[in-house]
């Protein structure tokens, strides 16, 4: 076990080391984050003023679609898989992931998936233009020719996610150090193993949905084609049966990250550990039985509307348990406000805000007005960006010193936080007002009455985009010439096995399993 990493490009192509693969996932997801962010900048630049300025409406539609797809499947999901690869073996005292060669495969098919997806933008007829939810018949009867490439790309990234999840489940179930019982596992591990089960259960449903599209388009079936006896509404049910668990797939690992960071900088153990575990499991279970709240306007019977409304509201209970636990962890703690903690506190505040707008949307009667407006856009950016992306950023600042043995520049970190926080709120807070005033989403143009807030929103979006370049700068500067740290704990309040190995974390850790008391 004494040998280190191989030399050259071969190290990255053939690696089976969980730390290398975690690094690959993180850099890949950051590249996708910048790509998806670039698409967002095109959207906001076009919406800076009413009227058509920069792009054609057809291209605008491709931008909204690709922004959603790249951010969800290319940036957020792989980022958390990267964190899982890096941290889960170190947190449970395992030498590596359970299935290291499958780990390599599940990463290396991803760049191909996104190369295929992105290449559609340069094809005749353009890339996917039907929204990231790709509702039939927009994505079947009326889709551009490139839709088959889109379907193939979705299949590949689905396979990657399923393999990654199986690996995580196998690692957690079989590779824990002696004494590391389930109820001693750090919360990040818990949220990830629950997420992994969600992924194994619903990514195949997504694959099924795109396969049915493929058959409708190319092989004359009529799953979603009303002329042949099918039903486009079926597509929405299948999609959201995947799609609702998907939003928890995105947010649960973020919950896990925040549940690691807040105790560290509060210098107190996490309040209500077991209730956190049960709340996570409850959220995962509920996510399977609420999907149709995305389709209140599709024409459901009143009983269906009521059922999906109440079931959706029920999710606020376990989510509330988590929020109160984070607040109670901080209560009477010796708080310090390093960058990871700032991002985590912002996460708790802004995610709760996004949760409340989610509750507003869950009211079926009110959703008739909010549906497909910018209010929805504002809601899910509060939970996806201020939720998943803020927590991912917190995780980078929190664990980066452990990974590379260098400390980031605290001032630069805090500056980046405030730019991101202010930029984010300027970008998305006004979108609530726009939505309530009736501005529909996914249009390249808007009425003059929406002009002012759109301009504000675009300015905020550019600021927030700039904050991501600052993050990249901070990370690169830390790796190149950050102040060396050698204390295994890095943060004085940090607890857990990952902080018992030397800093920077050696290439191989826990070759002999530690004993957990």
Partner 1 sequence: MEANRSNRTLLGQLLLLAAGMFAFAIFVMPPLYDLFCEITGLGGKTKGVYEAVEVKIDTSREVEVQFLASNNESMPWVFQPTEHHVVVHPGEARKVTFFAHNTTGRDMVAQAIPSMVPNNTADYFHKTECFCFNNQPLAAGEKAELDLIFIVDPDLPASVNSLTLSYTLFDITDSVSSPVAQLQ
Among 99, 251, 283, 394, binds partner 1 (CB under 8 A): 99
Q: Which is nearer to partner 1, 28 or 223 (CB)?
A: 223
- Of the candidate spans 31-39, 205-213, 374-382, 421-429, the one that interacts with partner 1 by CB under 8 A turns out to be 205-213
**How big is the CA angle at 169 (ends 166 and 170), to the nearest 5 degrees?**
85
Rounded distance between C-alpha atoms, residue 77 and residue 117, angstroms: 16
Q: Of the two residues 175 and 494, which places its CB atom closer to partner 1 in the complex?
A: 175
Alpha-carbon span 165 to 197, nearest angstrom: 7
Asked if residue 457 lies in contact with residue 420, where contact means CB atoms within 8 angstroms, the answer is no
Q: Which of 244, 371, 402, 432 is catalytic?
A: 244
From the list 38-46, 186-194, 195-203, 383-391, the region that binds partner 1 by CB under 8 A is 195-203
Only one of the segments 10-18, 83-91, 196-204, 447-455 lies at the binding site for partner 1 (rule: CB under 8 A); that segment is 196-204
Does residue 19 have an active-site annotation?
Answer: no
Q: Binder to partner 1 among 69, 212, 251, 277 (CB under 8 A)?
A: 212
Concerning whether 294 is annotated as a catalytic residue, the answer is: yes
Smaller CB separation from partner 1, 291 or 417: 291
Cβ 238 to partner 1 shortest distance, Å: 6
Sign, Cα dihedral of 317, 321, 322, 328: positive
The single residue of 18, 67, 371, 432 carrying the catalytic annotation is: 67
259 a catalytic residue: yes
Is 196 in contact with 280 (CB distance < 8 Å)?
A: no
Task: Measure the CA–CA gap between 393 and 156, rounded to whole angstroms.
Answer: 27
Q: Is 160 a catalytic residue?
A: yes
Instruction: Give the number of other Cβ atoms within 10 Å of residue 178's Cβ.
Output: 10
- Of the residues 65, 106, 259, 352, only one is catalytic, namely 259
Interaction of residue 193 with partner 1, rule CB under 8 A: no
**Is 208 a residue that touches partner 1 (CB under 8 A)?**
yes
Select from 21, 24, 35, 202 the one that contacts partner 1 (CB under 8 A).
Answer: 202
**DSSP alpha helix (H) spans, 230-301:** 232-266, 273-286
C-alpha to C-alpha distances, 302 to 291, 296, 356, nearest whole angstrom: 16, 10, 24
- Phi first, then psi: what are they for 484, rounded to 5°? -65, 140
Q: Quick check: is 46 catalytic? A: no
Interface with partner 1 includes 220 (CB under 8 A)? Answer: yes
Kindly name the residue from 248, 370, 382, 464 that is annotated as catalytic.
248
**DSSP helix/strand/coil, 278:** helix
C-beta of 390: minimal distance to partner 1 in Å?
Answer: 31
5-11 contacts: CB < 8 A, separation 24 or more? 5/507
Shortest distance, position 499 Cβ to partner 1, whole Å: 25
67 flagged as catalytic = yes
> Which two tokens mark 457?
């929103």
Q: Is 228 in the site for partner 1 (CB under 8 A)?
A: yes
DSSP reduced 3-state for 132 = coil
The residues near 128 (Cβ < 8 Å, ≥ 6 apart) are 62, 65, 66, 69, 117, 120, 134, 139, 143, 144, 146, 147, 150
Phi/psi at 140 (5° precision): -120, -80
Rounded to 10 degrees, the C-alpha dihedral 297/298/300/305 comes to: -40
480 given a catalytic annotation: no
According to the binding rule CB under 8 A, does residue 169 interact with partner 1?
yes
Residues making contact with partner 1 (CB under 8 A): 98-99, 102, 162, 165-166, 169-170, 173-175, 200-205, 207-209, 211-212, 220, 223, 226-231, 234, 237-238, 241, 301
Residues annotated as catalytic (active site), given as ranges: 67, 96, 132, 160-161, 244, 246, 248, 259, 293-294, 319, 322, 441
């Amino acid at each position: 076990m004494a040998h280190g990493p191989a030399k050259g490009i071969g190290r990255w192509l053939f690696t089976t080391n969980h730390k290398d693969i975690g690094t690959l996932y993180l850099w890949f997801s950051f590249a996708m984050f910048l790509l998806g962010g670039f698409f967002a900048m095109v959207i906001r630049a076009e919406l800076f003023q009413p009227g058509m300025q920069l792009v054609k409406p057809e291209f605008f539609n491709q931008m909204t679609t690709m922004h959603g797809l790249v951010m969800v499947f290319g940036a957020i999901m792989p980022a958390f898989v990267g964190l899982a690869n890096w941290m889960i073996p170190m947190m449970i005292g395992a030498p590596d992931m359970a299935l290291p060669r499958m780990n390599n495969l599940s990463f290396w098919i991803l760049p191909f998936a996104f190369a295929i997806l992105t290449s559609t933008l340069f094809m005749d007829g353009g890339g996917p233009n039907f929204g990231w939810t790709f509702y039939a018949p927009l994505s079947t009867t009326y889709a551009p020719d490139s839709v088959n490439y889109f379907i193939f790309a979705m299949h590949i990234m689905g396979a990657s996610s399923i393999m990654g999840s199986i690996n995580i489940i196998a690692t957690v179930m079989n590779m824990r150090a002696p004494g590391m019982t389930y109820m001693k596992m750090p919360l990040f591990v818990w949220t990830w193993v629950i997420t992994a089960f969600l992924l194994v259960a619903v990514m195949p449903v997504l694959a099924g949905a795109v396969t049915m599209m493929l058959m409708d388009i190319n092989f004359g079936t009529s799953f979603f084609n009303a002329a042949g006896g099918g039903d486009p509404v079926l597509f929405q049910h299948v999609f959201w049966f995947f799609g609702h668990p998907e939003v928890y797939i995105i947010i649960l690992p973020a919950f896990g990250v925040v549940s690691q960071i807040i105790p560290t900088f509060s210098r107190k153990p996490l309040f209500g550990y077991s209730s956190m575990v049960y709340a996570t499991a409850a959220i995962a279970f509920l996510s399977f039985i609420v999907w149709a709240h995305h389709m209140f306007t599709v024409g459901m019977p009143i009983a269906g509307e009521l059922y999906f409304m109440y079931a959706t509201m029920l999710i606020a209970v376990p989510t509330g348990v988590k929020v109160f636990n984070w607040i109670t962890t901080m209560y009477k703690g010796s708080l310090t406000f390093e960058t990871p903690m700032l991002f985590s506190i912002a996460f708790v505040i802004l995610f709760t805000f996004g949760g409340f707008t989610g509750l507003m949307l869950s009211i079926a009667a009110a959703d008739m007005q909010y549906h497909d407006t910018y209010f929805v856009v504002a809601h899910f950016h509060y939970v996806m960006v201020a939720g998943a992306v803020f927590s991912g950023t917190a995780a980078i600042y929190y664990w980066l010193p452990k990974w590379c043995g260098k400390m980031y520049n605290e001032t630069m970190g805090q500056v980046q936080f405030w730019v991101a926080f202010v930029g984010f709120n300027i970008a998305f807070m006004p979108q609530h007002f726009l939505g309530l005033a009736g501005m529909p989403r996914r249009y390249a143009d808007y009425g003059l009455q929406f002009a002012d807030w759109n301009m504000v929103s675009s300015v905020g979006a550019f600021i927030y985009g700039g904050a991501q370049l600052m993050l990249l700068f901070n990370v690169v500067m830390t790796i190149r010439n950050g102040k060396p740290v050698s204390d295994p704990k890095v943060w004085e309040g940090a607890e857990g096995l990952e902080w018992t190995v030397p800093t920077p974390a050696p290439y191989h850790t826990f070759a002999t399993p530690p004993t957990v008391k």
